[in-house]
Amino acid sequence: MNFKPVDEQLAVIKRGTVEIVPEQELIEKLKKSKKENKSLKIKLGVDPTRPDLHLGHSVILRKLRQFQDLGHEAILIIGGFTAMIGDPTGQNKTRPALSLEEVQENAETYISQAQKILDESKTTLVNNVDWLGDMTFMDVVQLSSKLTVARMIERDDFSKRFENNEPISVHEFLYPLAQGQDSVHLKSDVELGGTDQKFNLLVGRDLQKTDGQEPQVCLMMPLLVGTDGSMKMSKSYDNYIGIDEPANDMYGKALSIPDELIYTYFELVTDVSIEELESLKQKAEEDPRNTKHELAHTITRMYHGEKAAEAARKHFEETVIKKNIPDDAPEFHFESGSTVRLLDIISDAEMTSSNGETKRMMKQGGVSLNEEKIKDPGFEVTFENGKEYELKVGKRNFARLISG
């Protein structure tokens, strides 16, 4: 393996990084790796608690990909065991445990989406149920003896719950120990995580020291702010851009982010070079509109290809700027003289995920028929012979309703 000079590797590794603990140890590991021509083991553990990934998840996956491109071994741990415990990070109450079946189902979807970012041929894929599941109760007791309750209560989320007299289950104390044991088992050199994972990553470092191993370096990435510009990206906050979303939706959502996030998104979720980033920062300040289109195009190209990205821009210009219904909008035919509730039409056309979402969009003015906003969920459409309606749901979903 022909490794790049350490300073060049470090420039890539530090891109978008919040903290490296300790950075000097990482430099020494990189020097040793280059001298011995041996890849470092880079660990990223993910609990498949949900099946769908968004750009927020891609931040840490892209960092793992950067290590891959530098020639290091990327180890993606599917937390088949830890997901059943439930990561207490950031939780103000005990998280319900998932069943093994739920974890396995989510894991399959997670892996297929993660492989859109990682180099599959260079990724070591493991599941921590393979080693944590074999531990005896005595093994767990011995592992628990390596961390004090006082140290555990140092965790911000635990200390807040303790001060507020909110329950903390004993099994939640076991989560960082289980994650740390992953590091011991794999003898990882570097572990990646979000800023909210710092405690868990440091526990892994401590357990490696106790085991006589050279401790891992902990690298923390920021939590990506969602399209609303205030909360972290999450499907729960409806401020996410899914990596499996259609190209038109991905492009349109990327354009909805606040101007001040343009550079951050370029840095954290795109594949533009470090050299390009320098000029993009100034462009975002001087011409946010066109730079944001460049961002939307870049993100859409990464997941759907150049042709789809170009088509998505054209679709946006036609439907949002010119307010035209796209030529390829689906058509739905109804019997002349029939009367159908608009809510049912939208549901049957699968233009929203649920009737509840449709009602919410109606209330917010997000549903229109022939450019007239429909806010009444009981509104009915009467199909007179030969009459055609143009239906718009949200900013990016269109359909033609034709009678006869």
Q: How far is CA 197 from CA 56, 88, 180, 364, in A?
A: 14, 10, 12, 36
**List of residues 6+ apart from 88 with CB closer than 8 A:** 94, 95, 155, 157, 158, 168, 172, 175
Beta strands 190-194; 41-46: pairing state = parallel
Q: Are 352 and 363 in contact (CB under 8 A)?
A: no
**List of residues 6+ apart from 315 with CB closer than 8 A:** 248, 251, 326, 396
Cα–Cα distance measured from residue 252 to residue 397, given in angstroms and rounded to the nearest whole number: 11
Cα–Cα distance measured from residue 349 to residue 372, given in angstroms and rounded to the nearest whole number: 19
Closest of 3, 121, 116 to residue 62, by C-alpha? 116
Closest of 169, 220, 183 to residue 63, by C-alpha? 220
User: Which region holds residue 312: left if phi is over 0, alpha if psi is between -120 and 50, else beta?
Assistant: alpha
Annotated binding-site residue? 235: yes
Can you say which residues are annotated as belonging to the binding site for ATP?
235
Binding site residue list: 235
